Copies of this chain bind each other. A is one copy, B any other.
Amino acid sequence: MAAKKHKPLGIAIVGCGTVGGATAALLTTDRNIIESKVTVPMELRYIVDVDFSHAREMGLDESLFTDSIDAPIGDADVQVIVELVGGVTFAKDVVEKALRAGKHVVTANKALLAYHGAELYALARENGVCIAFEASCAGGIPIIRPMNEGLAANRIDAMFGIVNGTCNFILTEMISKNKSYADSLADAQRDGLAEADPTLDVSGGDSAHKLAIMASLAFGKKIDFEKIPLAGIDTLELCDIGYGETLGYVIKLLAIAERQDDGVSLRVRPAFISKEHPLAWVSGPFNAVSVYGHATGHTMYYGRGAGAKPTASAVVADIISIGIGTAQRSFELLNIWADRCEPANQLAIDEVQSRYYMRITCADEPGVLAQIAAILGKHNISITSLLQHESPQSAATTVPVIITTDKAREGNVRKALAEIDALDVIKAESVCIGIVEEYPEEL
């Protein structure tokens, strides 16, 4: 039995950069693909921008171009505004204007939702429309839908994500080619995989935006983005990557969310993860998110976390969901949206419980290890392995001592390392990197 004909869904794209252009192409050049799958016609009616050079290069239909957001806002045949402007100022205006005009919003804007998600969801609800944002986290990977519906029967206990392709590419270069951070960054910039100013990526800020959005849905709690502790990859040294490797670990920039005690621990940082964990295999510009549900155990979602076409794929998936009405129902009938949730009890960084890797630079003298061990013991930190390597330089008077610990409270670890670093026999600031273990499944 064939499906009956439906009224078209009118769409306006605001912002025609790489993602906007690819979205327009999926809706026009590739429209036969969508038409073969979806009975509701998708009608792109406007492309809004002030600069159409990219749109023209792509050969997009010029009759769709307008430089005024008011055109689609005033058009009763437009039901969806796609915000691909980026940033949190003009983009916020566009989204608010669209919602107030009773238009659904699709956005890829992670910063906007990390800062203003709850407020915008509430505004959407007041106006009887919804916001969909599959493209905001992990690009082309359908990761928002599992949080909402696919894993809906689960209490989600933890989430570990590699959600920044730039950082993962740089780390993969450092590991596989034994290149410094600076050289790897330069190569990423040359290949268009890192911005000229890479700060937002390499500092962990971009990963934290995504973590805030995903953790909010996963835990059904409002997340305060400003409270997520960040550490970036820009201070990582090659020698630690090497020592970690001999211990069976791979370094990754991880966005971490875990239930712990009565709260949730959220953090972004470079961390060691066992070579046996599927996330350890995720290399180059790829992204992946591991999600642990109490019933389903470990699930993982893998794919391209950025790029014009993968991101556009996620944008158009949301447009289609609005076209067939599933996005609206999920937005209306689930309770996981930040405007309907209590604030999460976000644990301070000192409360985090984790295993740790430490590299301590000691004078090559007797009795040093005893002093270090005594301080760790005093702070309730158990040592699980200790490697004292020979000094890399034959004439050196210092040696690196590599210690891994059992689970400990991060506050205690910081205090212990401050005491250790104050010893006369310690010749440089100690390095400390978290170790993420496979989350225990309850099954």
Which A residues are within 8 Å of any B CB, using their own CB? 1-3, 6, 22, 26, 30, 33-34, 36-40, 122, 125-126, 134, 140-142, 145-146, 149-155, 220, 278, 281-282, 286, 288, 293-304, 307, 309-310, 312-314, 316-317, 320-321, 323-326, 329-330, 332-336, 339-340, 443
Chain B residues with CB under 8 Å of A6's CB are 333
Cβ of A26 to closest chain B Cβ, rounded Å: 5
Q: Is the CB of B303 within 8 A of A153?
A: no
Q: Considering only CB atoms, which chain B residue lies closest to A441 in the complex?
A: B304
Q: Is the CB of B295 within 8 A of A334?
A: no
Complex Cα gap A293–B326 (Å): 22
Q: Is the CB of B340 within 8 A of A2?
A: yes
Q: Considering only CB atoms, which chain B residue lies closest to A142 in the complex?
A: B150
Q: Is the CB of B317 within 8 A of A149?
A: yes
Q: How many copies does the complex hold?
A: 2
Q: Is the CB of B298 within 8 A of A304?
A: yes
Complex Cα gap A149–B324 (Å): 10
Q: Which 9 A-B pairs give the minimum distances between C-beta atoms? A: A142-B150, A153-B316, A140-B296, A299-B303, A296-B313, A300-B302, A324-B333, A295-B313, A326-B326
Cβ of A66 to closest chain B Cβ, rounded Å: 24
Within the complex, which residue of B154, B325, B335 is in contact with A38, where a contact is CB–CB below 8 Å? B335
Q: Is the CB of B297 within 8 A of A299?
A: no
Cβ of A396 to closest chain B Cβ, rounded Å: 38
Q: Is the CB of A340 within 8 A of B443?
A: no
Chain B residues with CB under 8 Å of A122's CB are 1
State whether A325 and B333 are in contact (beta carbons under 8 Å apart), knowing that A145-B149, A293-B313, A299-B302 are contacts in the complex: yes
Chain B residues with CB under 8 Å of A304's CB are 296-299, 443
Q: Considering only CB atoms, which chain B residue lies closest to A304 in the complex?
A: B297
Cβ of A170 to closest chain B Cβ, rounded Å: 19
Cβ of A205 to closest chain B Cβ, rounded Å: 25
Complex Cα gap A339–B278 (Å): 37
Chain B residues with CB under 8 Å of A38's CB are 152, 333-335
Interchain residue pairs with CB less than 8 A apart (30): A1-B122, A3-B333, A26-B295, A30-B153, A33-B155, A34-B152, A36-B335, A38-B333, A38-B334, A39-B333, A39-B334, A140-B295, A141-B299, A142-B149, A145-B150, A149-B317, A152-B316, A288-B300, A293-B313, A295-B316, A296-B303, A296-B313, A297-B304, A298-B303, A300-B300, A300-B302, A302-B302, A310-B443, A326-B329, A326-B330
